[in-house]
Chain A
C-alpha cells in the first residue's frame, strides 16, 4: 500500500500523533461554560449518581475515546489517499492520452480520461508511465507516483484542436526512451483511431487501445481556408479560398457556410470552382480576421469553423521630395501599392541627403557617393540587425546588377548596416543615373517596392495558417520582403503552429485553423476492425478512499446517536 505524497512512515507517525492529540484533548478538557443557578446543589446530587466526566474519569470511557480515535484515523488515512498495489507485472506500461482534435467530439475526452485512470489503477505503479499528447509528449505520471496525482493533473486537460502527434511521439526519445529494452512494453492509447493508425510497434513493443473515440457519421468540416492576391489586380484586396466537405468528402455548397469579418457576420459573393472549392473575391486585405463556419454544426466541433488573419495590403503612403530621382518617382506613382501624400501624412519619404523633407520618418535617402557604402541600411533600436548577406537579394538587387553598378561607378558596390532611431536606406545617387542602366532594369521597380515596403514595415503575406504545420510566409512572392518577425522565428526553427486558434509571433497576430481533410473524414468513420479496445480496467473511482470515508461517516453517525441518547458525552 502507498499513500499520496506522504511516505508510509509519515502516515503512521501522523496517526500516532493524532491519537496522542486526542488523548491530550481529553485530558485537557474543553473549556466549560459557567452557569449560575440556585439549584446547583440538586444538579450536583444528580451528577453524583451519574459519573462526573472530569479529568481522569473521562478515561473510564475508553470506548468513547476509541470511537473518536477510530473516526480520526479513518479520515487521516482517507486523506492520505491510500492505494493498493496491484500484482506485479512483467511488462512496462506506457499510457498515452491523445487529447488532440480527435477527442473533441461529445464527451470523448471524459470517457478517455475515465478509461485511462481505470486502466492505470490496475497497473503496477512502478511499471507505469502516463503521457499527454502535445508537440512534445508531456509526462503526467512517473513510475511510483500515486494515481490520485494523475486524476488531479488531468483535471485541467482539454482536447486541443490540432492533428494527433502520437505517431511522432511514439518514436520520440520521450516515449521510445522510456521503454525498457530488457522488458516488453505495452503502449496504451486513448484517442481517435486515426491518431494511432500510422503507428507500427517494433519487436518487444505492443500497442493496445484503451479508448477509441466514437465516430460522428454525419461529420462535416472546413478543410481549406487561404488567401491570395486578388485576381482583379487590386493590390489592396485578396481572394479567399474556402473548402468545406461532408462525411463523403464531397464539397459543401456556399449556403452551408457562414462568413464573418472581425466577429460580425457578413454576406459575401462566392464563386464555385470546378473542383468544388469556393472563392470569395476581392476581400479587403486590411489585416482583419476572416472566419467561416458551418451553418449547422455537428457533434464533432473541431472542424466546424476556421479563421484566417488577412494580409494587410493597404497602400503605403509615400512622400516624394522635389529632389527625388525621377526614376524613383516614376516607380512609386506607377505602383498601386503606394499612394503619394504630403510629408506630414506619409509613412515613408524619398528625398535627397541634402534635403530637409519629412524628417523623423523612415526614408529612402539618395546620397552622394562619399566614403559610405553604396547601400546603408539603418535599423531601429528595438529590432535585430538585418541579415546583410541577404539584404540586397531581399530588395531585388541581384549580384549581376551589383557588378554592373560597380563597373558604372568604378567603385565597389557594398552594403553596410547601422543602428539608428528608425529604419532608413541610403543609396548612392549614381545608382539612379539613367546612364547606369539600373533604373531601366526590370528589377528596379521591385527594388523600389521592397525598399519602401521594408521601410514602412508592411505586414507579411501569410496565405494560410494550418495547425500541425509550419507557418508559410509568401511575402517574397508578392512583392514584399520577408517579415522580420517570421524570419527571426524561422532562424530558430520555431514556426510550428501547434493548434488552432489565435496566436502571435512577436507582435504579429495570426489565426490558425485546423483545416485538415483527414481529420474531418476520419472523424466520420468507425475504427477499422483490427483496432479493438482492450482494457486492463480496474474501478474508475477510488474505492478504498470512498470506503474509508463512508465508514468514518457511519461511525460519526453512531457517535451522534449515542450522544443523543445520553450514552456518551
Chain B
C-alpha cells in the first residue's frame, strides 16, 4: 500500500487559504468551447438501450451500417426483405442494420482540498477539462452525468443530453468549491453499485487518495464502463526540485491531513519521494494499459485547451 490509511481521523478543520474555483464567466469561455467542439469522443461499442445517436452499439435496427440477414418473420419491415436472396434461394430474408445510439458519459470530478491548496489550484484545470469533454459529448448527442466526489460520491445528475445543457454543466462546475479529503476508491465503489448503463467514465482527479493508488485501481476495476483517467498534475510532482520552497525544514500540507507533515528535505528524502511518485504513476499507467483505458495528464500550470488539442490529435479519441 502506497499510502497509509488514516485511522479514525476527525474531520479536518477549515483550512484557510484555499483557492476559489473558476467562476462561470471564466469557465464558460466561448472561444475555449469553440476550440474543443471539433473533437470527438468514441468508445468501441456502447451498450444498447439508449437513444438513437452516433455511438456504435450491439443493437440491431435502423441504421446505415449493414449488420446481418435474418429469416423473415411476420411483422418485419417489408422494405428490409432482400429480394436478391429470395430469387436465389427461394426464401425470405430481411437485412438487419447496426443501430447507433448515444453513449452515457459519467464524470467523476474531484473536489477534495488537495486540488485547492496550490497556486494556481488544480481545480481550475479540472473544471476546464471536464467542461471541454462534456462539450464534446453533448455535441455528439451523448448524455452527460456529473458525479463530484470528495470523501463520498455525490450524484449531481445522472444523464443530461443536448447542447442546451452545456451551460447547466458549466454552472454546476463553477460551484465546485473545496469539500474534504480524497475518497476516490470509495466513490468508485459507490458508482459501481449504481448499476448505470454502460458508457464512459471520466475520472478527473489528482488521484492522491489517502487509501492509496492500489485501492483506486481496485475501484476502477469494478466499473463495467470504458474509462478515461484525467490526471491533474504539476511539474514538480515528478520533479520536486522545481518547487522553490521544497528545501530545508518544512511543514507540508495538502489541506486534507489533520496535522501537516514535518520533513527536512535532504537528497535522501528527495530520492525516496521520487521513487514513491514513480510507483504511483506506474501503477496508474499499468492499469490503464492493461484495461485499455485512456490516461491523460493535464498540467495545471499550462493552458488546458493546448493540452487537449494534443490529446485529441487528429480530431478524435477512441477508447
Contact = CB atoms under 8 A, between A and B. Distances in A.
Nearest to B255: A36
B312 interface: no
A44 B253 contact: no
Interface in A540-569: 565-566, 569
B243 A565 contact: no
B218 interface: no
Nearest to B6: A41
Contacts of B272: 46-47, 49-50
Interface in A1-44: 29-30, 32-44
Interface in B245-301: 245-246, 248-257, 260-264, 266-269, 272-273, 275-277, 280
B283 to A, nearest CB: 12
A56 interface: no
Contacts of B269: 43, 46-47, 50, 566
Nearest to B114: A38
Contacts of B117: 36-38
Given A32-B249, A44-B257, A38 B208 contact: yes
B3 interface: yes
Contact of B273 (A43, A53, A54): A43
B267 A40 contact: no
B166 interface: no
A29 B250 CA distance: 11
Nearest to B269: A50
Contacts of B277: 39, 42
Nearest to B244: A35
A490 B268 CA distance: 85
Contacts of B263: 43-44, 46-47, 52-53
Contacts of A34: 250-251, 253, 260
A32 B251 contact: yes
Contacts of B139: none
B266 A39 contact: no
A48 interface: yes
Nearest to B277: A42
A42 to B, nearest CB: 5
A45 interface: yes
Contact of B262 (A38, A52, A566): A52
Contacts of B273: 39, 42-43, 46
B130 to A, nearest CB: 17
Contact of B3 (A29, A45, A54): A45
A54 B117 CA distance: 24
Nearest to B3: A41
Contacts, number: 118
A565 B117 CA distance: 31
B249 A35 contact: no
A209 B4 CA distance: 82
A375 B253 CA distance: 104
Residue with the greatest number of chain A CB neighbours at <10 A, chosen from B262, B264, B267, B268: B264
A117 B315 CA distance: 89
A184 to B, nearest CB: 64
Nearest to A569: B264
B142 interface: no
B249 A36 contact: no
A566 B264 CA distance: 10
A37 B17 contact: no
A164 B256 CA distance: 85
A41 B273 CA distance: 10
Given A36-B117, A47-B263, A50-B272, A569 B208 contact: no
B115 A54 contact: no
A47 B260 CA distance: 12
Given A50-B266, A53-B262, A566-B267, A36 B3 contact: no
Given A37-B117, A566-B269, A45 B253 contact: no
Interface residues of A, number: 27
Given A45-B2, A50-B268, A565-B267, A40 B261 contact: yes
Contacts of B254: 36-41
Contacts of A44: 4, 252, 257, 261, 263
Interface in A36-83: 36-50, 52-54
Nearest to A33: B250
Contacts of B251: 32-35
Contacts of B102: none
Contacts of A35: 243, 245-246, 250-253
B99 interface: no
B56 interface: no
Interface in B211-240: 234, 236-237
A50 B263 CA distance: 9
Contacts of B234: 38
Contact of B264 (A37, A40, A41, A53): A53
Given A38-B114, A50-B272, A43 B122 contact: no
Contacts of B17: 36
Contact of B4 (A37, A40, A48, A569): A48
Interface in B102-147: 114-115, 117-118, 122
B267 A36 contact: no
A38 B206 CA distance: 8
Contacts of B256: 41
A519 B236 CA distance: 80
A45 B276 contact: yes
B77 to A, nearest CB: 57
A566 B249 CA distance: 13
B246 A54 contact: no
B46 to A, nearest CB: 34
A232 B246 CA distance: 95
A402 B155 CA distance: 136
Contacts of A52: 262-263
Interface string A249-289: 00000000000000000000000000000000000000000
B252 A569 contact: no
B245 A40 contact: no
Contacts of B114: 38, 40
A32 B250 contact: yes
Nearest to A37: B252
A61 to B, nearest CB: 11
A149 to B, nearest CB: 42
A564 B274 CA distance: 18
Nearest to A36: B117
B266 A41 contact: no
Residue with the greatest number of chain B CB neighbours at <10 A, chosen from A37, A38, A43, A50: A38
Nearest to B232: A38
Contacts of B243: 35, 37
B266 A569 contact: yes
A48 B269 CA distance: 10
Contacts of B261: 40, 43-44, 47
Nearest to A58: B264
A37 B249 contact: no
A54 B252 CA distance: 13
A32 B253 CA distance: 12
Given A35-B250, A37-B254, 16 more contacts: A32-B251, A34-B250, A34-B253, A35-B243, A35-B245, A36-B253, A41-B210, A41-B254, A42-B208, A43-B252, A44-B263, A45-B276, A46-B275, A54-B262, A566-B267, A566-B269
6 interchain residue pairs of minimum CB distance:
A566-B266, A40-B254, A46-B272, A566-B267, A38-B114, A46-B273
21 contacts: A33-B248, A34-B250, A35-B251, A35-B253, A36-B117, A36-B118, A37-B117, A37-B253, A38-B114, A38-B122, A38-B208, A40-B260, A41-B210, A42-B208, A44-B252, A44-B263, A45-B3, A45-B4, A47-B269, A54-B262, A566-B267
